[in-house]
Amino acid sequence: MATYTDDNIKTLDWKEHIRKRPGMYIGKLGNGNSQDDGIYVLVKEIMDNSIDEHMMGFGQKVEITLTGQRIQIRDYGRGIPLGKVVDCVSKINTGGKYDSEAFQKSVGLNGVGTKAVNALSRYFEVSSFREGKVKTASFQFGEIIKDQPLKSSSEPEGTLMVFEPDEAIFGDYHYETEFLEDLFWNYAFLNAGLKIHFNGKVFHSEKGLLDLLHYKTNVENARYPIIHFKSPDLEIAMTHADHYGEEYYSFVNGQNTTQGGTHLSAFKEAVVKVVRDFYKKEFDPADVRSAITAAISIKIQEPVFESQTKTKLGSQNISPEGQTIRSFVNDFIKKNLDNYLHRFPEVADALLKRIQQSERERKDISTIRKLANEKAKKANLHNRKLRDCRVHFTDLRKGNRFETSLFITEGDSASGSLTKARDVQTQAVFSLRGKPLNCFGLTKKVVYENEEFNLLQHALDIEDGLENLRYNRVILATDADVDGMHIRLLLLTFFLQFFPDLVRKGHLYILETPLFRVRNKKKTFYCYSEKEKQRAIKQLGGGNPEITRFKGLGEISPDEFEGFIGKAIRLEQIQLKKEASIHDVLEYYMGKNTGERQNFIVENLRVEKDLAVSVVEAEVIENEASPA
């Protein structure tokens, strides 16, 4: 029996606690393949300080340099007070953000962010340039290793921070420059006039959220020109297009609140109310918001977020003594949007036609939807297709939302192995029956008419949007061969065509599975490339290790699955590039069969060359490229 005595009670200092429980401070870890991986949160924590300086009126430029795994961030704000430089990066609950006069509408309010970066870095250095002097200190894993005395300096005032995330925490990680650039663009859009320099590129915006929507969306498909309103503490931009679903970008004090919060809820409610009042008709809220693309940015005092990573706003008021966020947003939109629709009747007419189109489409599928829902219940979804987990996404909003996953796989062998190997508490498995339908160019009716699609949307609970999404990560688990690539493309088509928000919000992933098992009597390595295989052979001391080449998920035993769908899971997050039009993407990959698509599959298959070449010879997707 385990003992529980005084000796079991441990007291950790701030560095030890952060390193032992990094998820409490930066969310999930990851290896850089996902935009919300911890190494990007570290960059954001330092950048937030520089942006706060700019928002207070100090510094019009931030310079970032990435060299290998080392990040350097230099701002031109006021600089940390020279006598407190070491304390501000190494003493918990110490910082200027506690002084509401110095930072009135700041993102970082709890004095933890920079300390977390320090503790989780194998090297961290801070320099503050102020009053013609510079103070520099260096750290390793949060421990100070060099505290330099004050020196004279001719450098402009500001702060320089340099850090390298610790591989002992983050593993074999890498930075994706595209993810960093997306982060820097968001900062630029939210801080008109600020210039961000990153490895030779300049990120700069003059029109704020108007520029953001131009950057994020395919404006050519917009039903009317982007509507843009701005005040000192609230800015919105919106339009309607032809896509399914609703697309939102929300921010609080410059922080990208990817999970929304009270400000976004208020915005959605206000738009529906103004539209109903203007047209004097009680439209269904779903019809008003269908195909909307919008951005909202609000500045409030002492914001309350639902986690340290600040992805969802929980505040009810714009300041401790101020009005509610709901009434503040509603008053702003009522005044501005109502006036705009009266001033521009052509926009009002275009908006009305888009709402009426959504209304017709909803009514058109209502009967089919009802029958499909009844059929889904009779199909006994949870026994036939879905091996569910014990804890769902909706129960994990208090802090563990990153843990729930749904694996979508094909074939009895693969789904059987995944089901036996998974963590039954947080991982679920959905089994496909053969290849799904190519739904490119089809209407949403097919989601209800096709049993496979209907059961899948029910398993995810995304029929009416992402609010009830039952799994934070939706993982495509297909073989690393021609058929597996094809199934993956068909599923991507389904999600992009009908549920693009799932992709835009970063919920869709591809499971990376090992190509080789290299082992001897003492140790086993699972390798994802030829390079890793050779490294494993070397680590085993050469000799004659047993090498197994996996050709499909069905060949991998449940015991082996446990090794790479647990903490060591490798996932590739599906990301839409800024210039990507969903229609153009689907046309390229799933339209008429083209040599370009064949070349894409050949280049992206992680298999031997002779198997990849067989794609062209077999022309496996020739007959399924066009909708049935």
The domain ranges of the chain are 15-204, 209-362, 379-513+554-618, 516-549
The residue with greater pLDDT, 91 or 9, is: 91
Dump pLDDT digits (tens) for 127-170: 999 999 999 999 999 999 999 999 999 999 999 999 999 998 88
Instruction: Kindly report which listed range (107-116, 220-229, 248-257) carries the lowest average pLDDT score.
Output: 107-116
Check whether 85 has a pLDDT greater than 80. yes
* pLDDT the model gives residue 616: 33
pTM above 0.85, yes or no: no
* Rg value, the chain, Cα: 26
The residue with greater pLDDT, 30 or 275, is: 275
| Confidence band of 617 (pLDDT split at 50, 70, 90) | very low
Where do we find the tokens 């209502």?
A: 366
Check whether 512 has a pLDDT greater than 80. yes
Check whether 262 has a pLDDT greater than 50. yes
Where do we find the tokens 């014990």?
A: 390
Q: Report the Cα 475 to chain-centroid distance in Å.
A: 14
3-state helix, strand, coil in the chain (%, to 5): 40, 20, 40
| Confidence band of 235 (pLDDT split at 50, 70, 90) | very high
CA-wise closest residue to 172 among 29, 381, 19, 369: 29
Rounded Cα distance between 102 and 86, Å, is 19
Q: Which architecture, in CATH terms, is 379-513+554-618?
A: 3-Layer(aba) Sandwich (3.40)
Cα torsion 222, 246, 358, 583 to 10°: value is 50
Highest mean pLDDT pick, 173-177, 194-198, 245-249: 194-198
Helix (H) or strand (E) run with residue 146 in it = strand 143-147
Per the structure block, which two tokens stand in for 208? 């704020």
Instruction: Kindly report which listed range (6-15, 29-38, 80-89, 506-515) carries the lowest average pLDDT score.
Output: 6-15
Class of domain 15-204 (CATH, top level):
alpha beta
* pLDDT the model gives residue 447: 87
Q: What is the mean pLDDT of the chain?
A: 82
Query: What three-state secondary structure class fits 71?
Result: strand
Rounded Cα distance between 151 and 308, Å, is 35
Rounded Cα distance between 258 and 261, Å, is 9
* pLDDT the model gives residue 552: 76
Q: Which residue type, as a one-letter code, is found at position 459?
A: A
- For residues 441-479, b (16+ Cβ closer than 10 Å) or e, as one string? ebebebbbbbebbbbbbbbbbbeeebeebbbbbbbbbbb
CA-wise closest residue to 200 among 63, 344, 329, 2: 63
DSSP string, 81-105: -GGGHHHHHHSTT-SGGG-TTT-TT
Highest mean pLDDT pick, 227-241, 434-448, 463-477: 227-241
Rounded Cα distance between 387 and 477, Å, is 15
* pLDDT the model gives residue 112: 72
Check whether 106 has a pLDDT greater than 60. no
Which of 3.30.460.10, 3.40.50.10190, 3.30.230.10, 3.40.50.620 would CATH assign to domain 209-362?
3.30.230.10
HSE (side-chain half, CA atoms, 13 Å) at 525: 20
How many C-beta atoms lie closer than 10 Å to residue 522's C-beta? 7
* pLDDT the model gives residue 102: 42
Mean pLDDT, range 282-290, rounded to an integer: 94
CA-wise closest residue to 572 among 512, 503, 499, 492: 512
| Confidence band of 107 (pLDDT split at 50, 70, 90) | low
Q: Are strands 247-252 and 255-256 parallel, antiparallel or unpaired?
A: antiparallel
* pLDDT the model gives residue 430: 93
Q: Are strands 158-165 and 70-75 parallel, antiparallel or unpaired?
A: antiparallel
